[in-house]
Amino acid sequence: MTKGRNDENSEEAGRSFFKLLAALVLGITFFALTPAHAKGFTPKYIFLFIGDGMSYPQVQSAAYYSGKDAGGIVDVVKQSTNPADSPEAGSLSFMAFPVAGSAQTYDATSFAPDSASTATSILTGKKTHSSSINVDTTKKIKFRTIAEQLKAQKGWKIGVLSTVNLNHATPAAMYAHQASRKSNYPIGLELVASGFDYFAGGALMEPQDKNSDKTSIYDLAKQAGYKVAFTQKDAGALKNGDKAIVVAETLADENAMSYDEDRRSGEWALRDYVKKGIEVLDNKKGFFMMVEGGKIDWACHANDARSSIADTLALSDAVKEAVAFYNKHPKETLILVTADHETGGLTIGFAGTDYNLFFRTLQNQKISYAKFDSDYVASYKKNGTSFDDVMKDVTALFGLMAPDAAAHNAGKDKNGGLYLTDYEYGRIKSAYEKTMNGDKTRSQQEYELYGNYEPLTVTITHIINSKSGIGFTSYSHTGLPVPVFAKGTGQDSFTGYYDNTDIYKKLASLTDVKQD
């Protein structure tokens, strides 16, 4: 029996349908597996947030602090007091990002690297020695940064923000090429020569060279067409398209921005500088903004957990400004939040509190270690202040109280309590005597106790840390991996576990820049 024409047409139609269906499925699959930039979704606005010294423990301690402890006090952010039997973690803005990865951080010198070499890895995709910025291990070959490539090849505008000095290691790694991170004046010269569009944060280190026979970096910047702002009023007056260097009006230790814990009412936070930066940089071609929470690192070097937490929360707030921009440009914006390395060997959990954590105890610390040094310890040493009078300040500023027999019998010096044990009280008194003697020599045992910090101050922070159930193992950097949070166009490129040099490589691939 032969088939009729209608049957043949029906079979042909069926085959055509299945071919179309197969092509559609293959097309969808190909589209899903194709990198974002190959689909025409190349990011045009990129934010790179670097929490200096901020690994997983710093992120998680800030999240726990903004949540609530078991059995009681609650949510420092919302200032609520709902009782609870179980702990509840808070959340930082970038913890809600859809993609998270991890990056290892070693450099050409060590598994425990520094900021210069790790920022070089992130921004150039190449390893170098600790303390070197964007040069190879011979210190002769210069590496081009992703910021320089985007500026030169794409015409993007570039922003560099930091809570520490603008020619410190991490911000310098955006634009400088030096064998030593300590070449402050030459780094400043490279800042001006970069032609980047917006700098904001702490003051320059050595804006005048050591011999004071060369022009100030600030004057050179003005000659190059930069508006240099030293007040919030002048910073606030900046407009879209301005080229600017903004130095925080209020400067603290080492001429950096204030720790967020010490920031006064009305004083600009990192978030404010990011918001102004977006306003200044916004354009149709694109921009790349690097934002460093630099004093997270400084706090962890000093083993000041409360200040580390405050500045990590400040970085989280700054990220919210980028998210607000992303919400207006979702198909063109990529936000990354990562770190250069971990600092301090921060641990969540302390032998003296077993499995228990009492983050609420840290609420009693009202001042950073640095401000306590400058505003109080310096005065104690000058005036010979008695230990009893010093303890009054310790109670007012850190909540720690002298031993009390009744409090001890009631267990109030345990489980996050603020009464000192006799042992803790003795530690503070010994540290007070060491500080008042002004002796800066350290035996190995004393270094383990105090590092290179004021014995009185670091002992106070160690004790309140311990009562909270957290602690540090080092005054230096460690070899922990760091998180990489991603949101926006190209976000899926940042999943997995990889080397920090891959951050550059992924950004270069997404933006189609020619790699050197």
pLDDT given for residue 255 in this prediction: 98
Please tell me the distance from the alpha carbon of residue 222 to that of residue 175, in angstroms, as a whole number.
18
Q: What is the β-pairing status of strands 157-165 and 287-293?
A: parallel
Global pTM value:
0.90
Q: Which residues of 320-339 are buried (b: 16+ CB within 10 A; e: fewer)?
A: ebbbebbeeeeebbbbbbbb
pLDDT given for residue 71 in this prediction: 56
pLDDT given for residue 12 in this prediction: 55
Measured N-to-C along each axis, helices 455-468 and 387-398 cross at an angle, to the nearest 10 degrees, of 40
| Residue 19 pLDDT greater than 80, yes or no | no
Tens of pLDDT, residue by residue over 39-97, are: 547 899 999 999 999 999 999 999 999 998 875 544 444 444 455 568 889 999 999 99
* Alpha-carbon separation of residue 131 from 104, 161, 173, 190 (angstroms): 18, 20, 11, 17
| Residue 312 pLDDT greater than 60, yes or no | yes
Residue 456 class from Cβ within 10 Å (0-12 exposed, 13-18 middle, 19+ buried)?
buried
pLDDT given for residue 211 in this prediction: 83
pLDDT given for residue 434 in this prediction: 96
pLDDT given for residue 36 in this prediction: 46
Mean pLDDT, rounded, for 287-299:
98
Mean pLDDT, rounded, for 450-459:
97
Please report, to the nearest 10 degrees, the dihedral formed by the alpha carbons of residues 229, 233, 235, 239 taken in order: -120
